[in-house]
Structure 1
Amino acid sequence: MWKRALKATSDYLALVRNPVPPSEAVLFRFRAPEDVARWKVFTDQPYGGRTAAGFELSPTEPESAVFSGTVSPEFDKAASQLQRSGFCGIIAEQAPGQCWDLEPFDSLVIRARGDGRKYVATLRTEDWMVGQASQDRWQAFLFARKGVWQDVHIPLDRFLLTWRGRLVETRSEINARRVISIGISLAAGSDEVEQSGDFSLGLQHIKAERHDGLVQQQ
């Protein structure tokens, strides 16, 4: 109940400050080295895995960046801390005390060129108590057609709460007002197209958009 009261108060104050919320906000554009430098790459290698990944500007038009590499479910069993490997991703984090406010919007929009694989978009937020970072992750599938640039619309209500990669069954509400990191990841799966091999995901920009109830599905 107190969460709903806090949200209602917060929404009212936001409405007073800005009675007409914006229809979109550009979170990232990938045009210059500094745009890519904001993102960190992670893989399973520190834990004994053999997946390799990188994130860099594309040398060809249009202006974009490419998250690419080789995903492998193999790992060094003697040195590994893993029970399952074959994962990697990129993540952008806000500086301490800062956040992205996605409350005025209803969708995350990623302009991407896929490779036939299924990626995962992740939002990490502060807890409802201001200043307390949550270890929970809100995740949604990111599908982008192979070899074709498209705007992938992911409604914010499609993001599901997870903890250490597992879906949390308890009903919760995302604190969209205080998003502290945004990420995209890939994991090897049981499906043939998702198993080991090269991958490449092109990215032009990431936006938050509001459609006044007319949210386009990805």
Structure 2
Amino acid sequence: MSKVRAIWQASLTATKRALTWNIEDLIPPSERFIYNFNSKEELKKWHLYSDSEYGGLSSAALEITDAGKEQSGTGVFSGNLSLDVMEGTKWNISRSGFCGMRSKKFDGFIDLDPYDTIALKIKGDGRSYISTIYTENWVNSPGQMEDNSWQAFVAVPKDNWVVAKIPLAHYLPTWRGNVIEADIEMNPSRVVGMSLSVNAEGGVPGAQTGPGDFRLEIDWIKALRTQSTP
């Protein structure tokens, strides 16, 4: 083989390898960790809220379990749901009995466009919880600065670890907890945060309801691609 032909062949081989690498690199993995509740540092990415901000008497905590040296911990979202309202509160609230944990905003956006399902490894108490995805506000007006929210119920069996899978198509657009009757679609490429919450009333049929203690243990939250790439 001549020197010129050898150089050409080497260049062609290198180009093919580069093209192959680039094509594979463009295909996202079939799953992506969004949150992994394995340390106290991870819990700093979240903050708590409840009806106590508006005169209610519910309370919540977010802690990490101590799993020992051989195993990482898991997050525990727990507390008490109360339907009572603080006496003399200035807030005219129509309902109480809710608590939640919401992630702090990402530095930019998370692009979930390549995925079709949210998966949560959780262990609960028989209540149903609400999974919320927040996306960039589509209005951008002075009177409407809140993120768009999309919600779906998660039924959590008592005392058993499960991987709950929620198709993105099952998340409904909401405004302050109420479903919006509008023909709009989520933009999964502009996700700014997530939350998990629990209400004393409502939820999926058969789930535990009413005031009292709640406890949800969380190992991780992932995005999955369950459908084949065209």
Same fold (TM over 0.5): yes
Contact 1:127 1:175 in 2 (8 A): no
Q: Does 1:121 align with 2:170?
A: no
Report what 2:192 is aligned to. Answer: 180
The superposition leaves residues 112-145 of structure 1 with CA deviations (integer Å, 9 ceiling, x where unpaired) of 0010001000011014589x96533100001121
Q: Distance in 2 between matches of 1:38 and 1:190?
A: 28
Report what 1:162 is aligned to. Answer: 174
Contact 1:120 1:142 in 2 (8 A): yes
**Aligned partner of 2:74: which letter?**
S
Q: Distance in 2 between matches of 1:175 and 1:29?
A: 23
Q: How many equivalent residue pairs?
A: 198
Q: Does 1:211 align with 2:223?
A: no
Aligned-pair identity (%): 34
Contact 1:126 1:133 in 2 (8 A): no
Provide the alpha-carbon RMSD of the alignment: 2.6
- Which of 72, 83, 86 lines up with 1:73 in the alignment? 83
Q: Distance in 2 between matches of 1:209 and 1:134?
A: 27
CA shift for structure 1 position 193: 2.6
Using structure 2 for the length normalisation, give the TM-score: 0.78
Contact 2:200 2:210 in 1 (8 A): yes
Q: Distance in 2 between matches of 1:163 and 1:27?
A: 24
Q: For 1:151, what is the secondary structure of its paired residue?
A: strand
Q: For 1:177, what is the secondary structure of its paired residue?
A: helix
**Aligned partner of 1:66: which letter?**
V
Q: Does 1:94 align with 2:105?
A: yes
Using structure 1 for the length normalisation, give the TM-score: 0.83
Q: Where do 5+ consecutive residues of structure 2 fail to align?
A: 1-22
The list of structure 1 runs, each at least 4 consecutive aligned residues, that deviate by more than 6 angstroms after superposition, is none
Report what 1:13 is aligned to. Answer: none
Larger radius of gyration: 2
Q: Where do 5+ consecutive residues of structure 1 fail to align?
A: 1-15
Matches within 5 A, 1:41-52: 41-52=48-59
Q: Does 1:55 align with 2:62?
A: yes
> Kindly tell me: are residues 29 and 190 of structure 1, through their superposed partners in 2, closer, same or farther at Cα, counting changes over 3 Å?
closer
Report what 2:35 is aligned to. Answer: 28
> Kindly tell me: are residues 58 and 21 of structure 1, through their superposed partners in 2, closer, same or farther at Cα, counting changes over 3 Å?
same
